[in-house]
Amino acid sequence: MKGIVFTEFLEMVEEKFGLEVVDTIIETSDVPSEGVYTSIGTYDFNEMVALIGSLSEEVNMDQGTLIHAFGHYLFSSLGKAHPEVIENFNNPINLLYAIEDHIHIHVQKIYPEAELPTFKILEKTDTSISMIYSSSRGLYRLAHGLIEKCFEHYNSTASVAYELLKADGTEVKFDVVQHG
Amino acid sequence: MDNKEVILLKKALDRQKRARKQAEVILEAKSKELYDTTRHLKEVNTSLEHLLNEKTDELNSAFLNIIDPYIVMDLESNVLSMNTSAKEFLGCDHNKESINLSKMVHKDFFEYTIESMGSLLEAGVLKNYSAKITTKDNKEKWVQINASLIYDTERKPIAAQGIIRDITQEMEIKELLKEQKKQLNIIVEHSPLGILLSINGKIIKANTTFSSCLGYSHIELKQKKLDDISEAEDIRLNEDLTCKLRLGALDKFSVVRRYFRKNGGSVLARTMVSAVKDSEGKIEYEVALIEDITKERASEERLAAEREKYSSIIANMNLGLLEVDNDDIIQMANQSFCRMSGYEEKELLGTKAARLLGKDGDVIIEESIERRKKGISDSYEVALTDKQGNKKYWLISGAPRYGSDKELIGSIGIHLDITNQKLLEHQKEQLVKELEHSNKGLQDYAHIVSHDLKSPLRSISALATWIQEDYKDILDEGGNENLNLMQEKIASMDKLISGILDYSIVNSSKLNTEKVDLNTVVAEVGETIFIPDHVVLSVPRKLPIIYSDSTKMRQLFQNIIGNAVVHIEEEKGLVEVLYDENKTHWLFTIKDNGVGIPKEYHKKIFEIFQSVGNNERSTGIGLSIVKKIVDRYEGEVWVDSEVGVGTEFHFSLCKATCSM
């Protein structure tokens, strides 16, 4: 998993819960990297699983909610890091529509080793889009948060419904309808 | 800050340091990786550049060294680069001035050039673009250009390169060929001969003379073989010659073929076939020249028939024919000539014709040769002796004989044997001479006789008068009566002698021709002759004026009228002079109501010394003079008469004789 996800995650934890919690979850999860991450590095996904698990216990919140919140946070930080990607699109639906064929291709250029989820488009209109998220990581709530924040970025709202096609969350169908 | 917080911060800081170091390691590794890649790329680039340069150099030098002009231009036709040859060819240098090729194109080729540029841009290549250009040094040239596009790395066309070929000479030759072809076509199309091009007998092309002669269109002819529309007169000969031609043993041959017209009928034509060979000696075409000889053949046949006809005429005619050369040597003699001369043909040939004429021959022949040289034909008579020594007379008609180039090659003579005529002529001349002589004697005799007779007669008359006067007292009535009778007989005798004299000269005396008014003649006759009182002479219709001898006319009218007036016993006598005319003759009638002439005398009266009855006043000569005069004027005289009713004397005079 890309380093940026770890660094942004710890940033969020620090921001929301304080440096002590950061230290605690690093200490408790006992990850091989010892909590040392750089955004340009690549780390084992299991470290993320362990960190999220530790945070959940520490702050007594369920993992899904935490991941969903991280999604919101991550969209903003990614937007700051790569504003040109968002500027290329004039509405959120088009951005979502282009993830697989456009954005991910550019990601792959910089990080050839990145393992990215796939978004298969089922249906698209001017105000709605249906797609299937599939990833061995099962981080569909992260995707959920990212989608919601995306609409927020374009000063819009949307109802984002999801349906687990596989119980472990490795395949999830999203139905997004834009409001205004 | 409490201790715990410090520891936390220290730990966080430591993590940040380590993360930074980690990032630095990653970046260094990335950096090195990038450096290596760059260096590798540079190497590859350099080697590629070398390769490219080499190729470019190769190309440049190749293009610079090629003879044909080579040019690189941008897409607006501005020259970017050109080799020496191009500079020389176009008379300009792109290094010294900017050159736009489209401005050199001749205006007739603008549109074509634009089209060509379009197809170059579309297809990337342009082949055999040909146009006329005007170079910078103002020369007109024909160029042929093969061009291709040059692309940048993005496959965008940026320029075009082309090789120019100077085809000015080629075009000139082409033009010349075209012109020559045109001229050739004119000759072929206007040739009076049919011209045919064929391959193995199959017609490829025919000229108009040929196609219109046979009535086939050019297209129809192209589907035919020569044998489909014609056949050789001598098929075997034609096959033999055709075979030889195709085997190369002959270059050309000539046969006579009969060509069949599309609409029936045929033409006989001399056909000269020649082989047109390629550089390897293989026959490419056969050319046939076809000359219509139908008429020629017909006239040849006619000529042969004529020749046949005339040679048989010449051989069989009764005229001797002789041909001699300029030296008078006999070349030909026909059968008649041999017969006429008594010599055999073989004796005559090669000898001098003059020899036949004896010692005078040379002179005669020399003269005639002189005349032949002037192209004069003539005829002359010669006397000669034949082989048997008989004397002969020939009439020769000579004419110059010309050769095929109109040069005098001798003369031709036609000989007519006139020996018999000549002898007859001699006899006739003799007879005429004798006749003239005896005629003269006879006339002189008549003249002399009548003169000699008249003078004793006048003496007798004088003597009788003297007796009557001197002895009138002694003579009784009977004596006087007898002397009177004697005087009358003397007068009658005198008249008779005068008549004979007239008669003898009427035939021989010359006829004068003068304008004679017959009215005057008749009036004078009326005054001269004795007309009894009871007789009237009348001319109801005015008589004509004719050209004749006035004395003869007077004799004519006087004799007839004189006869008429004295033989009337009616109480009132009438003698009328009537006249009429037809185309050829004047017709006169002297009509009386006299005693008439018995039928048996109607012919007799015109003979000399014949008169009707026993009239003392008639000598029987008058009407015979009438007959003679009418004869001399080519007329006729006859009589219609009935005894007791009257007599009509008719005579005619020929107008032609009268006007002479």
Predicted confidence (pLDDT) per residue in B101-147, tens digit = 888 888 888 888 888 888 888 888 888 888 888 888 888 888 888 98
Secondary structure of B527-548 as H, E, C letters:
HHCCCCCCEEEECCCCCCEEEE
CB contact under 8 A, A19 and B18: no
From A160's Cα to the closest Cα of chain B, the distance in A is: 37
Cα–Cα dist B80/B74, whole Å: 7
Cβ within 8 Å of residue B325, ≥6 positions away: B331, B409, B410
Among the partner-chain residues A19, A23, A41, the one whose CB lies closest to the CB of B22 is A41
B646: nearest Cα among B540, B572, B588: B572
Give the confidence band of B612 by pLDDT, cuts at 50, 70, 90. low
A:62-101 residues touching chain B, CB 8 A cutoff: none
CA B300 centroid distance within chain: 18
pLDDT digits over B355-404, tens only? 777 666 667 777 777 777 777 888 888 888 888 888 888 888 888 888 88
Q: Taking residues B449-477, what's their average pLDDT? A: 86
From B41's Cα to the closest Cα of chain A, the distance in A is: 19
| Residue numbers in A near B12 (CB within 8 A) | 19, 22-23
From B153's Cα to the closest Cα of chain A, the distance in A is: 23
Least confident of A100-104, B55-59, B319-323: B55-59
Residues of chain A with pLDDT under 70: 180
Is it the case that residue B587 has pLDDT exceeding 90? yes
CB contact under 8 A, B23 and A38: yes
Burial class (CB in 10 A: 0-12, 13-18, 19+), B438: exposed
- Mean pLDDT taken over chain B: 84
Q: What's the pLDDT score for residue A6?
A: 92
Q: Choose from B8, B10, B34 for mutation: most chain A CBs within 10 A.
A: B8
**CA-based max dimension of chain B:** 257
Higher pLDDT, A20 or B2: A20
Among the partner-chain residues A19, A20, A37, the one whose CB lies closest to the CB of B19 is A37
Cβ within 8 Å of residue A178, ≥6 positions away: A92, A93, A127, A128, A151, A156, A157, A158
Q: Which residue of B has its CA nearest to A19?
A: B8
CA–CA distances in Å: residue B439 to residues B104, B430, B507, B510: 122, 14, 11, 15
Give the confidence band of B519 by pLDDT, cuts at 50, 70, 90. very high
Confirm or reject contact between A22 and chain B (CB < 8 A).
yes
Q: What's the pLDDT score for residue B493?
A: 81
Among the partner-chain residues B12, B19, B26, the one whose CB lies closest to the CB of A19 is B12
Least confident of B24-38, B221-235, B608-622, B644-658: B608-622
Cα–Cα dist A144/A166, whole Å: 16
Confirm or reject contact between A110 and chain B (CB < 8 A).
no
Q: Taking residues B163-171, what's their average pLDDT? A: 86
Cα–Cα dist B354/B348, whole Å: 11
| Residue numbers in A near B37 (CB within 8 A) | none
Confirm or reject contact between A118 and chain B (CB < 8 A).
no
Strands of the B330-333 sheet, one edge to the other: B330-333, B320-325, B408-417, B391-402, B378-385
Q: Which residue of A has its CA nearest to B4?
A: A20
| Residue numbers in A near B18 (CB within 8 A) | 34, 36
| Residue numbers in A near B8 (CB within 8 A) | 19-20, 23
Confirm or reject contact between B27 and chain A (CB < 8 A).
yes
B485: nearest Cα among B363, B616, B607, B612: B616
| Residue numbers in A near B34 (CB within 8 A) | none
Domain spans of chain A? 3-61, 88-179
| Residue numbers in B near A36 (CB within 8 A) | 15, 18-19, 22
Q: Which residue of A has its CA nearest to B5?
A: A20
Are B144 and B130 a contacting pair, CB within 8 Å? yes
Confirm or reject contact between A38 and chain B (CB < 8 A).
yes
Confirm or reject contact between B22 and chain A (CB < 8 A).
yes
Per mean pLDDT, which of B246-255, B336-345, B427-436 is the most reliable? B427-436
Q: What's the pLDDT score for residue B327?
A: 82
Q: What's the pLDDT score for residue B361?
A: 67
| Residue numbers in B near A26 (CB within 8 A) | 15
Domain A88-179 bears CATH identifier 3.90.1520.10: yes
CB contact under 8 A, A40 and B18: no
pLDDT digits over A50-79, tens only? 999 999 999 999 999 999 999 999 999 888
| Residue numbers in A near B27 (CB within 8 A) | 40
pLDDT over 90 for what percent of chain B? 7
Confirm or reject contact between A40 and chain B (CB < 8 A).
yes
Confirm or reject contact between B309 and chain A (CB < 8 A).
no
Cα–Cα dist A129/A123, whole Å: 6
Alpha helices in B124-257 (DSSP H): 168-190, 208-214, 218-222, 226-229, 235-247
From B19's Cα to the closest Cα of chain A, the distance in A is: 5
Element holding B372 (H helix, E strand) = helix B361-373
pTM of the model: 0.34
CB contact under 8 A, B12 and A20: no
Is it the case that residue B31 has pLDDT exceeding 60? yes
Confirm or reject contact between A15 and chain B (CB < 8 A).
no
B248: nearest Cα among B288, B272, B282: B282
From A64's Cα to the closest Cα of chain B, the distance in A is: 27
**3-state DSSP call for residue B49?**
helix
A8: nearest Cα among A95, A75, A99: A75
From B154's Cα to the closest Cα of chain A, the distance in A is: 22
Cβ within 8 Å of residue B456, ≥6 positions away: none
Cα–Cα dist A58/B615, whole Å: 219
**3-state DSSP call for residue B501?**
helix
Tokens 């350099």 label which residue? B46
Per mean pLDDT, which of A118-122, B323-327, B510-514 is the most reliable? A118-122
CB contact under 8 A, B23 and A36: no
Confirm or reject contact between B23 and chain A (CB < 8 A).
yes
Confirm or reject contact between A129 and chain B (CB < 8 A).
no
Cβ within 8 Å of residue B138, ≥6 positions away: none
The C-alpha angle with vertex A38 and arms to A37 and A44, in degrees rounded to 5, equals 50
B221: nearest Cα among B273, B260, B267, B168: B260
| Residue numbers in B near A40 (CB within 8 A) | 23, 26-27
CB contact under 8 A, B11 and A23: yes
From B40's Cα to the closest Cα of chain A, the distance in A is: 20
Cα–Cα dist B253/B272, whole Å: 6
For residue B542, give the amino acid letter.
Answer: K
Is it the case that residue B615 has pLDDT exceeding 60? no
CB atoms within 10 A of CB B557: 23
Q: Domains plus CATH for chain B?
A: 66-173 (3.30.450.20), 191-298 (3.30.450.20), 318-417 (3.30.450.20), 424-490 (no CATH), 510-658 (3.30.565.10)
CB contact under 8 A, A38 and B15: no
